[in-house]
Amino acid sequence: MEYIANHPIYYHWWPMFTILLGTGCRIGEALGLRWQDLDFENRVISINHSLVYYPANGSNKCVLRVSLPKTDAGIRTIPMLDIVKDAFEMLYEEQKENGFNETEIDGMSGFIFCNRFGSVPNPQTVNHTIKRIANNYNADEVVRAKKEHRDPIILPNFSCHHLRHTFCTRLCENETNLKVIQSIMGHKNIETTLDIYAEATEKKKQESFENLAAKLDIF
């Protein structure tokens, strides 16, 4: 995230990726957020719809449409972390100066995220941007590593879904109440939550034993 924040080209993506990584929202849920979905006073984000991107009727051109949750699990509130609040406020101040997003999709307006054309970006664009940023970072890292006489630490390919999974993993490492995790993530089935929780706790267990072995003097 530091690389993005300080990059002369990609810095304006920092708020979006901070919000994705700090909320665990699905990309369609994040892109569908409107200013009225935010409660800064109580520090909560309301998730009640998402945006989907698919071909328009009788056309090869894809358009964004509003999609309502198919289950109650999809309608939820997410606590607003400090860094996420900062990201939203940064976007608000930018739009207050440059103009708010006037895009209307299926009767909804007031969308938070806006591209340079004044419309809501689509999920494909966001994932392509992640790929470009990762490729640029890796190229820069190879140069840095060569100068520092070390092996480069290369980022793997990842997408918006990986940001959601990362958030869920960190949440599982710090929260033991599975119903709370399920509610925040909007998982329809508790089994999905259990699978990620089991994976996260297994990794944490390995780390704990590695730390323990380093501290014990009996071996």
Q: Which H helix or E strand runs over 67? A: strand 62-67
187 is catalytic: yes
- CA nearest neighbour of 20 among 67, 68, 87, 71: 87
Catalytic residue among 70, 149, 179, 215: 70
Q: What is the DSSP letter of 173?
A: H
Q: Which of 65, 146, 161, 205 is catalytic?
A: 161
d(CA 211, CA 201): 15
Eight-class DSSP state of 99: -
Gap between the Cα atoms of 204 and 173, Å rounded: 7
Which residue in 10, 26, 49, 76 is the catalytic one? 26
Answer for the pair 134, 155: CB distance below 8 angstroms, yes or no.
yes
Q: Is 164 a catalytic residue?
A: yes
Q: Is 26 considered catalytic here?
A: yes
Instruction: For residue 161, indicate whether it is catalytic.
Output: yes
User: One of 187, 204, 205, 215 is an active-site residue; which one?
Assistant: 187
From the candidates 10, 49, 76, 164, give the one annotated as an active-site residue: 164
Catalytically annotated residues: 26, 70, 161, 164, 187, 197
